[in-house]
Structure 1
Amino acid sequence: MTTRSCHTLIIGGGIAGIVTALELLELNRPLVLVDRDTPERLGGLARWAFGGMALVDTPEQRRMKIADSPELALQDWHSFANFDDCDHWPKAWAQHYTEHCLERVYHWLRSRGLKFFPAVNWVERGLYHPGNSVPRYHVLWGTGWHLAETLIQQLRQHPNADQLQILHQHRVSELLCSEQERGCTGINEADGSTFRVRAEQVVVATGGINGSVERVKQNWYRPWGEPPAEILNGAHPFADGTLHDCVSALGGRLTHLDKMWNYAAGIPHPQPHFAGHGLSLIPCKSALWLDHRGDRIGPEPLVTGFDTNYLCQRVSQQEKPWTWQLLNWRIAAREFAISGSEHNVKIRDRKLFAFLKETLLGNHRLVRQMQEQSDHFLVADSLPELVTQMNRLTDQPYIDPHRLDALVSHYDAGITRGSALFNDDQLRRIEHARKWRSDRVRTCKPRPLRDPSSGPLIAIKLNLISRKSLGGIQTDLSSRVLDGQGEAIPGLFAVGEAAGFGGGGASGFRSLEGTFLSGCILTARNAAQQILQDP
């Protein structure tokens, strides 16, 4: 067994672990970062992330004349979170986030050379519970990929970089946290050998549980019923909850593991990185969302951008584990998107003019790519032809073409009457979304689905896809792990998604969206600050 000693051991090489290491290099004392993945995939799920962050009272908001404040943000946060009376630490983290994200996330990132796109988007506006009262969703220019690359480069170029040792392809199997010894043991998956790391402080930064579909199902929110039989994996497969179990064995408290931030619109990845790998789509507002029989899901139509958790609830309670979105090429070119850095290459590679061109003229490149690569993305010149493809994909003639024809005709007739007579809630929400200029360019003006000038029809077969854990290891505002009595376990910290982005569930039942990468940065910086104050 190989044994190493250090001042601080960081387990997990995602953004939370990287930020912790970057801050702690100021100590100029030995650090060990243990990561299960290969060197080129250091950065974890952030490498695949779109990079959106919910930030409060930023210069970008002020330039767009958005009046925001920590007080308003906290009010919105509580409305969406549905906190319980006993949620002391989640509430404390929510307040801490809204009050300090500008200084400790936004300005920190800017100081490290990272920038945000000037347009602020308005997501999670709320449906039955008020959500974001104002636009707060800031897109990191370069996506999460550029964030990871930038911070990793700064790790390597730090004046004290020789104090950091990164152990790639090392899987931790046991945490040690006693008066006699603190650290971990595990296996070097590259050669099968065992290792031990001894440390004065241990920081758990291993993500949540949603990289394991089985853990997602085991911890499913039971008031919604049974989980869908088929769930795609949109998280990192190494975020499987193993270290949650290790922390629990040491007396650490796990909370709100049934609170998750999954997405309702996933398709299998055409070139999967692992078994069950899915792509999380940003569902088109102008598409009709249908059940497996081709009936419109209702009575309230499903429309993205208002309450993602509600979409997941409705989709998970359908008779079959799949749904459909019905749209046309015009809608897809304007509204269709895939979350993450992999399919947003113009933003990821910071090609401003190419990005603006695709935004204004339509992202026909991505639509053609999905048509060619995904068997869940169907294109046809007529509705009967499209229904034939849809039924072929499900191996059963679930959809009656005459019934679907009547549904589309009824919807199109409502559009033809004109906006003054819109009496469909989906059309009303589309009109509302288009009033905000950042959404207007990405949301089509209503036009009949079978309008001859709108191109061929498209049907996308969707499954629910796992993404992020909202619950996790309970921590105080210094990211110290708390035991069942609420006392800090000496020398043990948890950051990022492992800690439910703070306190074991800072977002509560719903997120205002964009509180994840920023939550990783904030919790990591707080942990490092505590360690730096008491080295």
Structure 2
Amino acid sequence: MAQVIVVGGGLAGLSAAHTLLERGANVLLLDKQGFIGGNSTKATSGINGAGTQSQQDLGIIDSARTFFDDTKKSARDLARDDLIRVLTGRSGDAVNWLQNKFGLDLSKVARLGGHSQPRTHRGDAQFPGMVITYAQMERLEDLAVSDPERVKIYKKSRVVKLLKDESGGVIGVEYTRNGKNETAYGPVVLATGGYASDFTETSLIKKYRPEYYDLPTTNGEHATGDGHKLAIATGASGIDFEKVQVHPTGLVDPKEPDSKVKFLAAEALRGVGGLILDNQGKRFVDELQHRDFVTGKMWENGKTPIRLVLNSAAAKQMEWHAKHYVGRGLMKKFETGEEFAKEIGIPASQLKKTFDDYNAGVKAGKDAYGRKFFSPGEWTLNDSFYVAIITPVLHYTMGGVEIDPEARIIDTNGKPIPGLFAAGEIAGGVHGANRLGGSSLLGCVVFGRVSGDTAASYLLQQTTAAVAKAGGRLGAIGGHLEASKPAAAAAAPAAAPAEASGSEGAYTLADVAKHNTKDDVWVVVNGQVLDVTSFLPDHPGGEKAILLYAGRDATDEFNMLHDPKVIPRYAPDAVIGNLKK
């Protein structure tokens, strides 16, 4: 069967897979994790798009040209214009595609740091990265069930080598699965993410930015630059590996302040009016500046701990996030400014002066730090506040393998490597020295679609050439490419699996509470008791997200993040019984 191999099951790989299916190609998706989704599921602010239907509905005037200029400025003129044009020029279509094809709500539009217009799209009550990725993931998994000849998904399958023919073209991969070495043939799309958790012996962080090696990270442990290393070993050209983004707002868990992996505070928290204060309760930066600028000012200020603060108006706009962070112990709510000032250890009058100075800047249209965009409403001590301690964290790697505007990977001689494509964070040169907030999901979708288009065309060319060589007998090569018949229309999604009933056992909360360690962890979700010990390594949000609720009822937190069908779909064997009433 003629197929394209997609390596990596995050949003870039999923977008490539769906595009390939639309173009009539068959797909084999390989992911080294036990649960596909990758870092895309953690994206908290939204996806950028210029000229979208949502912007038009809200009366927002924006264009691909304006978005191009903002991206170029953020990139410090180090990104490639041809790649920025693809990213920004196809951004509106990418957002509309997600809404139309997957029925997603992306009707809310915010302005993040570095953007001259509101263009970061999200829905109402969920982390947009999770919603967007899960929608594609579930659709692809349904197709793998309803039409397994068209779609195959192999999890816990690590690619160890790219296979090449005599001419230097990539013709497949070697990978390990279930303890065995396997081989698959076809063009390859690498969508393996970045290297911001690369603390291995061959660490790209240590090699190119050793001064960042000891920083915490927001990335899952899978982000170790596997695809980069595979491509470079195959002759690919690398670009901008030293361009590593340090995000200013990693959330510090007071119980584990030195934890290597941090949760990320959504950039939208600053977009809706959140302020950054030092340990004296003073502002020192325009909160809507580029990430690297804000990070630099935090290091320059040095008065730690530094806090991200939301007043009631800002918290109301991001209510779901605020409650989520409070539930995880990463944010604290104060009923008054006096309470907050006491927590910091400063006079309330000092905090009031900070607020008064900010309010004066709002009225003037510009403050002492150059901030020009403000959220409506005054900051006063007579208000409630959501507060988190923040620290700079490794977040995104702008460097990667070099690609052209068609997502073909370029070799060290400046030529495309036949049969090898890239999408998402692995692709270098798109964001230059600094990526704009909201452009990570966008890069995944845009270049996922571009790589899918290009790989499908390449496969069709190769299949046609092979058919011609075989005397017009398609069966001679086992080919199957129906470019005129989109796969999405050819295969109806399978029905969601029925909910697992679990065993007949019934347990009390006291029973569950006994199982509260990493080696033995039970949780309660919607009246069901789950033993999630073996699921910990596969959880896309990381082990810590589950361990916070070990031995407890996690229903409220679970329902904030997940659709009820997640358990029967992805962890049916974890259900061991019901909660005794």
Calculate the TM-score normalised by the size of structure 1: 0.72
The residue number in structure 2 matching 1:374 is 329
Task: Please name the residue that 1:462 is paired with.
Answer: 390
Structure-2 change in CA distance of 1:8 and 1:433 (3 Å): same
Tell me what 2:248 maps to: 264
2:440 is aligned to: 516
Q: 1:168–1:51: structure 2 CA closer, same or farther, 3 Å change rule?
A: farther
Q: Which residue does 1:290 correspond to in 2?
A: 278
Match of 1:10 among 6, 13, 16: 6
Structure 1 CA distance for aligned equivalents of residues 189 and 361 of structure 2:
58
> Take 1:28 and 1:493, find their aligned partners in 2: how far apart are those partners?
18
- Which of 81, 85, 100 aligns to 2:90? It is 100
1:264–1:108 distance in 2 versus 1, CA, 3 Å: same
Counterpart of 1:173 (choices 145, 151, 160) is: 160
Q: 1 CA distance for matches of 2:165 and 2:254?
A: 47
Q: Percent identity?
A: 19
2:16 aligned to which of 13, 16, 20: 20
Is the CA contact (8 Å cut-off) linking 1:376 and 1:462 kept in structure 2?
Answer: no
1:46·1:517 contact (CA, 8 Å) conserved in 2?
yes
Alpha-carbon distance, 1:475 to partner: 0.8
Deviation at 1:376, TM superposition (A): 7.0
How do 1:324-343 residues align onto structure 2 when only pairs under 5 Å count? 324-325=306-307, 327=309, 331-336=310-315
Change (3 A) 1:251 1:166: same
Question: What are the superposed Cα offsets for residues 188-231 of structure 1, whole Å, 9 maximum, x if unpaired?
Answer: 3xx4x132223131111100111336757526669xxx4385x3
Do 1:6 and 1:197's aligned partners in 2 also have CA atoms closer than 8 Å?
Answer: no
2 CA distance for matches of 1:382 and 1:110?
41
How many residues align? The count is: 446
After TM superposition, the structure 1 = structure 2 runs for residues 161-240 of structure 1, keeping only pairs within 5 Å, are 161-179=148-166, 182-188=171-177, 191=178, 193-212=179-198, 215=203, 217-218=205-206, 226-227=211-212, 229=214, 231-240=215-224
For the residue of structure 2 that corresponds to 1:534, the secondary structure is helix
Q: Distance in 1 between matches of 2:13 and 2:321?
A: 33
Q: Does the residue aligned with 1:433 lie in a helix, a strand or coil?
A: coil
Answer yes or no: is the 8 Å Cα contact 2:408–2:420 preserved in 1: yes
265, 290, 293: which one pairs with 1:281?
Answer: 265
Q: How far did residue 96 of structure 1 move?
A: 1.8
The change in CA–CA distance for 1:51 and 1:385 in structure 2 (over 3 A counts) is closer
Contact kept in structure 2, 1:44 and 1:236, CA below 8 Å: yes
Q: Deviations over 1:295-347 (max 9, x none)?
A: 746xxx22322322211222345658x541275xxx444335xxxxxxxxxxx
Q: Confirm or deny: 8 A CA contact 1:378 1:460 kept in the other structure.
A: no
Aligned residue for 1:325, secondary structure, equals: strand
Q: In 1, are the aligned partners of 2:410 and 2:417 still within 8 Å (CA)?
A: yes
AA of the residue aligned to 1:153: E
Establish whether residue 304 from structure 1 lines up as the match of residue 287 from structure 2. Answer: yes
The answer to which of 203-212 and 259-268 deviates more is: 259-268
**Structure 1 Cα separation of the partners of residues 133 and 410 of structure 2:** 29
- Gap runs ≥5 in structure 2: 460-581
Post-superposition offset of 1:92: 0.6
- Judged with a 3 Å threshold, the aligned counterparts in structure 2 of structure 1 residues 260 and 332 are, in CA distance, closer, same or farther, namely farther
- Whether 1:73 and 2:62 are equivalent positions in the alignment is no
Contact 1:183/1:198 (8 A) holds in 2: yes
| Alignment of 1:445 onto 2:386 | no
What SS is found at the alignment partner of 2:102? coil
For residue 374 of structure 2, what is the aligned residue in structure 1?
433
Q: Which moved more, 1:235-244 or 1:507-516?
A: 507-516
Q: 1:414 deviation in Å?
A: 4.2
- CA distance in 1 between partners of 2:362 and 2:77 (Å): 39
Alpha carbons of 1:420 and 1:153: their partners in 2 closer, same or farther (altered >3 Å)?
closer
CA distance in 1, matches of 2:207, 2:349: 40
Where does the alignment leave 5 or more consecutive residues of structure 1 unmatched?
Answer: 125-130, 337-357, 391-400, 435-439
CA–CA distance in 2 between the matches of 1:418 and 1:111?
Answer: 41
Query: Residue 378 of structure 1 contacts residue 386 of structure 1 at CA under 8 Å; is this kept in 2?
Result: no
Cα pair distance change 1:369/1:202, threshold 3 Å:
closer
- Quick one: distance in 2 between partners of 1:384 and 1:57? 44
Q: Which amino acid aligns with 1:61?
A: Q
- Cα distance, 1:119–1:458 mapped onto 2, change above 3 Å: closer
Distance (whole Å) between structure 1 residues aligned to residue 62 and residue 255 of structure 2: 41
Q: SS where residue 446 of structure 2 aligns?
A: helix
What residue number does 2:39 align with? 45
Residue of structure 2 equivalent to 1:394: none
* 1:56 pairs with one of 33, 50, 53: 50
Relative distance call for 1:370 and 1:43 in structure 2 (3 A) is closer
Q: Distance in 2 between matches of 1:446 and 1:531?
A: 53
Q: Give the whole-Å Cα distance in 1 for the aligned partners of 2:367 and 2:337.
A: 24
| Alignment partner of 1:507 is 2:431 | yes
3-state SS of the aligned residue for 1:490?
A: strand
